[in-house]
Structure 1
Amino acid sequence: MKKVGLWVLLLVSLVGCSTKMGYYFLDWVIEWKLEEYVSLTSGQQAQFDSALNQFLIWHRAEELPLYAKQLSQFSLEFEQASLTPAVWAAQVEQLKQHWLRTFEFIKPFIVPMISSFTDEQVKQVIAQLRVDEKALNRKYLGKDRQALVEMADKRINKRIKKWIGKLTSKQKQAIHEYNLGRSSNLDMWLEYRHEWIRLLSLALKNRHNQAALSHSLTVLMTQPDRLKSDVYKTTLDNNTEQFGTLLVRLNLLATISQKKHFQAKLDALIVDLNELSEAD
């Protein structure tokens, strides 16, 4: 799930995707990403540093064990070949719950800081989000169906290869058939992103009303379906189910070597998460 957003969203996505080594440098990475969107004053920087430190302590102790637990269950489902599209949908829902808890933790820190932004800082944030939006439009708009499918094939092949090793021709074909069969939502996705940025801009302009800002950020960050059409939501649900079907198929097509490769990587990640959560 890539989302555009303020630095808080980038922060969480980075944390959720970090390995053990990456986690040790996470504060530096978050700082670097933040600087892409806004330049803080010395007072805001001190506020941010304190909030980040508290977040990382909480996240390490409270959230990482939950990530490890979910991955252990996911590993078992693959090993027992009990993964189904419905089980995959439940996994996706768990991921959403991780994000909801995280946002509720960081909200009391980010609302006052964002409320203190100057007009110039707000312009910086929105300008960078617009740059991101234009880059996505250049990447995807104007391409025909075949080109988009080829891009999706390459993207998914790369991600799956990272976890199971070199793909077989049958696995590549399964991925290609998934991309051919899933519903196209590119236009709806780009429209949603555009509307998301517009509403964030309005929230930032009204940032001095902290109650209103808190409500707006909660909706934008945790209730995205409120901004999506019924058609778009249905399309996303269908594609999630189809992706679950793809994972089931890839698992059935996996070689013994691929299964061992996947299990080893997953086990290593689970060990890292558990060790990080127990570290002082």
Structure 2
Amino acid sequence: MHSHVRRGLPMLTALGLTVGVTALAAPAAHAEPDCGRAPVQYSVDGGAHWTNDATMPAESGSVQVRLAGVPTAGCDYHVSLGSYATQGATWATSGQQTFLGWATTTLTREHYRDTLDVTGHLPRCYGELALYSVGEKYDGSDSDHPLPHYPDEPFSGLGIASWNGGTACAPTPTPTAAPTSAAPTPTPTAAPATSAAVSTPPPGGPTASPRADQRTPAAATATPTATATAAPALAATGADDGLLIAAGVAAAALVAAGGAAAYVGRRR
């Protein structure tokens, strides 16, 4: 019997050592690193100045963040930046907030610096920027992601820094109806003046008179008669006055001779 015990002792010893080593190694293999809260610093001027102050020095849609000190290996640190429109320039007067935009990043020992950018979602008037150490978007989508509302903020205890400010929005002008303009009164057009050269037609005559430059001169259309009436005055044409007088005398003599011949004939 003792021989069996002596032969089994080495085997039991080896088995005990194996179990002991396994038991000691198991907790070390499954131990989680103690990350704690992220030691974050931020910059709103492109990295020229870094701070961990709880109040942002200025509104900035681009915020650089970095891990301060020596981060624990194997730890992930989530950092987010939210942009909100508010009803006042301070946290106490912020009133009802409206979610505008969000950016997030994960910092590690290897990736210890990054930039959060919400420049396309900055408030136009009063607003708030919130920098906090969690990778959640608080946009009011459900009860687990409510909007900030004074005095409660959803990332309480996780906030890194915040900014409140801005100016009041200009009131929206009330549209007014365009004035109706009265239609312009047409100005009567004066009838064209009748040329003095056009004569009024006599009753029963033609309804239209020819233009002055289309009428035939009276001297050219007058028909000579054989009556002993005074000869119409002839317009001066540049002919010799003596010839005109002689022609007139001859015509008068012819008329007188004709009258005498007719009288003699009746007497016979």
Task: Judge same fold: TM > 0.5, yes or no.
Answer: no
Structure 1 length as normaliser, TM-score?
0.19
Structure 2 length as normaliser, TM-score?
0.19
| Larger RCO, structure (CA 8 Å, separation 6 or more) | 1
Higher strand proportion (structure 1 or 2):
2
Higher helix proportion (structure 1 or 2):
1
| Greater Rg over alpha carbons, structure | 2
